[in-house]
Amino acid sequence: MGMTITEKIIADHAGKKEVHAGELVTVKVDLVMANDVTAPLALKVLEKYGIDRVFDPDKIALVLSHFVPAKDIKSAEQAKIVRDFAKRHNIKWFFQEGEGIEHTILPEKGIVVPGDLVVGADSHTCTYGGIGAFSTGMGSTDIAYAMATGETWLKVPATMKFIFYGKLQTWVSGKDLILHTIGQIGVDGALYKAMEFDGEAIRSLSVEQRLTIANMAIEAGGKSGIISPDEKTIEYVSQRAQKPWKVYQSDPDAEYEVVYEWDASKIEPLVAWPYLPSNVHPVSESTHITIDQAFIGSCTNGRIEDLRVAARILKGRKVHPYVRCIVIPASKQVYMQALKEGLIDIFLEAGCSVSVSTCGPCLGGHMGILAEGERCISTSNRNFPGRMGHPKSEAYLANPAVVAASAVLGRIAHPEEVVGKEVLEEVFA
């Protein structure tokens, strides 16, 4: 019996010829990641056990991303703990406030490459599967162990395969494919499973959109999300990689727990209503819902392609007078590219607020908190009660085009309601 791409990566990192679902293994890690919220907890564990070293300062990434720029004394102290640790141990991949969100900058800078095994103290560490890495989130205690030893243990996950065939409709993106998936199987439908995506619709997507799909695997309970590398992946990685990489592919006779196949041409832009990412509805059934805020950003959809799509909608138009539209590029590099392309001018002229790179409102951190009864349509990944502010506020999840169109009309809207039947060209170049 052959192996899936996930099993192959795990087997190599466990020093074994083969592994299969359900097997317990110890693996060597290529990168350990934590942020300003989770790293201090891991560092306290190291301190508790008198461990004053890391296994390899070149294989640890510490990113200040969640409550930055510091919103209060507590968040400033959290950041200082991480900063001091990075300085003391000469951590190579330490990123200060404003550099960006970890799940954007690590692939963007070529720190994560295909074939890597990455663990991170953040649930959306699964993002890196978009370039063919096995990456998964872990608790801070496990991360402390990995920082100290360069190893972790895990149970080899069974793999579920999701095949999307057909041609995508205009304004449908990777965000809609993952929302469709979660809507079909539920928020626990892939519990502790590897979610492998394939098919002509997946292969038509840019690498950035593939990262969006992998990012939200955790919203279905997945241990990881992964897309086998192809020529697009190699082109993306070859321009960025800080180290050699290895391409793995699933064997034709690999065993899958279940295989789903869907016609992507029948999927329209989707919206996840409160209070679950699985509460998915077509945008055409959501246009009666008024909004108070629109958020374009996060590790899910704050990359340059996402901003291009939003700017395409907002150019020459104004945000609705009773709507706040917040745009946050997911990294400094994205911000600089958006400046170069004139996208920031478009956003400001439309009436948006543009912020330094941060997670910000995605997790209800700051820079866009919702009051009781307010509604936000967001390009982020999670819409549980209180996720973006007051427990009685509401967050709706959608792709950047839908969010931008909604910001203009003051209600959830299909992009065609704003721009007509124009063809979307060169946005995903």
Domains of the chain: 5-262 (3.30.499.10), 274-419 (3.30.499.10)
Q: How many CA atoms lie within 13 A of 106 on its CB side?
A: 38
Contacts of 132 (CB under 8 A, 6+ apart): 5, 114, 115, 226, 227, 228, 229, 233, 247, 248
Report pLDDT for 421. 77
CA gyration radius for the chain? 20
Report pLDDT for 426. 43
Regions of the chain where pLDDT drops below 50: 425-429
Token pair in block for residue 375: 């509604």
Distance in angstroms (rounded) separating the CA atoms of residues 316 and 144: 50
Q: Whole-prediction pTM value?
A: 0.95
Per the document, the length of the chain is 429
DSSP characters for 242-308? SS--------TTB--SEEEEEEGGGPPPEEE-TT-TT-EEEGGG-TT-B-SEEEE-HHHH-SHHHHH
Please name which of 162, 127, 139, 119 lies closest in space to residue 31, comparing C-alpha atoms: 119
Give the tens place of pLDDT for each residue, 106-136. 999 999 999 999 999 999 999 999 999 999 9
Cα-flanking dihedrals φ and ψ of residue 134, to 5°? -95, 115
Distance in angstroms (rounded) separating the CA atoms of residues 13 and 25: 9
Distance in angstroms (rounded) separating the CA atoms of residues 319 and 38: 36
Side chain identity at 255, as an amino acid letter? E
Q: How many CA atoms lie within 13 A of 176 on its CB side?
A: 27
Distance in angstroms (rounded) separating the CA atoms of residues 175 and 219: 12
Which bin fits 410, alpha (ψ -120 to 50), beta or left (φ > 0)?
left
Q: How many CA atoms lie within 13 A of 360 on its CB side?
A: 29
Give the relative orientation of helices 304-314 and 400-409 as an angle to the nearest 10 degrees. 30
How many beta carbons lie within 10 A of that of residue 48, not counting itself?
A: 10
Q: Are 113 and 243 in contact (CB under 8 A)?
A: yes
Q: How many CA atoms lie within 13 A of 78 on its CB side?
A: 24
Token pair in block for residue 174: 């990777």
Report pLDDT for 165. 97
Distance in angstroms (rounded) separating the CA atoms of residues 156 and 82: 31
How many beta carbons lie within 10 A of that of residue 27, not counting itself?
A: 24
Token pair in block for residue 57: 């300062």
Side chain identity at 120, as an amino acid letter? G
